Amino acid sequence: MKARKISFFYLTGLFFVLIEIAFNIYGKSICTTEGCKVVESFVRGGNINLLILGLVLFSFLFFISLYKFSAAFSKIIEYIHSGVLIIALSVEGYLLGFQSFVLKEFCIFCLVVFGILFLSSIYRVFEKRYEIALAFAGFSSIFLITYLVNPGISQIPPNTLVYSKNCPHCEEIIQFCKTNSININTIEAKDISGTLKSLKIESVPILFSDEGDTKKIIIGKERIKEHLLNKSLSNNKNQQGICPIFETKTCQ
């Protein structure tokens, strides 16, 4: 049967998910890239939820592709077969769109699952199941909509002041930094609005301070000034009142 050929794709996906579940039990993963870790951190309830869904998906597809149904049910089963692939590939459109346009990090495990579902859908076309075109349409539509509408989570450089052009307090801090020779990065709030909303921050100025292993978010003009001044004095303290051991003549 032709269905037995496509079963190979589903069996591959099933084993792939089972192996990842086994790895997860021991606190490991097939995917060791940073992208996999970032994607996993966004999954509600942990990575295991996606793995269980994947296990159910490939088990179901493998069963209906192998089992020989009666003539009365075979046509309905074929539509169900295509329908499941349409839903699965549409979901992959969101997952890949989220990774591409929001996280800008990729999960190798997710890409492999997408590849299996994509090849399975292509095979269905060769089986003359043309309704599967809806799977490609669904994938493309959802993938593109995540580009047009996304939270815009952005990476913020260390020691960055978030400001707004119509904020006098922001301008005061920028001038304060210039007067006191304090080096600081600046970024306009509208450019990282998605990040600020995800952090539930609704006002400026904001200082994102990076102090080694410690990350600080400081909000408010006076608090930012105090932090910058203390940090500047702390840095200068290591440069004042100290004479080089082997170059004493340079010490004034």
The length of the chain, given as a count of residues: 252
pLDDT in tens, 87-108: 999 999 999 998 888 778 888 9
Residues near 83 by beta carbon (within 8 Å), at least 6 away in sequence: none
Whether 162 and 192 have beta carbons less than 8 Å apart is answered as yes
Specify whether domain 2-148 bears CATH 3.40.50.1100.
Answer: no
In the prediction, which pLDDT does 246 show?
43
From-to residues of CATH 3.40.30.10 in the chain: 160-237
- Tell me phi and psi for residue 4, to 5 degrees: -65, -30
pLDDT of 221 above 80: yes
Could you please state the CATH topology (level 3) that the domain comprising 160-237 is classified under: Glutaredoxin (3.40.30)
pLDDT in tens, 117-148: 999 999 999 999 999 999 999 999 999 998 88
For residues 221 and 170, give the distance between their C-alpha atoms in angstroms, rounded to a whole number.
Answer: 7
Mean of pLDDT values over 230-241: 62
From-to residues of CATH 1.20.1440.130 in the chain: 2-148
For residues 110 and 209, give the distance between their C-alpha atoms in angstroms, rounded to a whole number.
Answer: 34
Residue showing tokens 């997860």? 24
Whether 139 and 66 have beta carbons less than 8 Å apart is answered as no
pLDDT in tens, 167-187: 999 999 999 998 888 888 999
* 176 to 20, 156, 173, 226: CA distances (angstroms): 53, 21, 5, 11
pLDDT in tens, 186-205: 999 888 877 787 778 888 99
Query: Which residue in 213, 165, 211 sits closest to 188, CA to CA?
Result: 165
pLDDT in tens, 112-122: 999 999 999 99
DSSP symbol at 18: H
pLDDT in tens, 14-68: 999 999 999 988 888 888 877 787 778 778 877 888 999 999 999 999 999 998 8
pLDDT of 80 above 90: yes
Q: Give this prediction's pTM.
A: 0.69
Q: Which of 3-7, 45-49, 241-245 has the lowest mean pLDDT?
A: 241-245
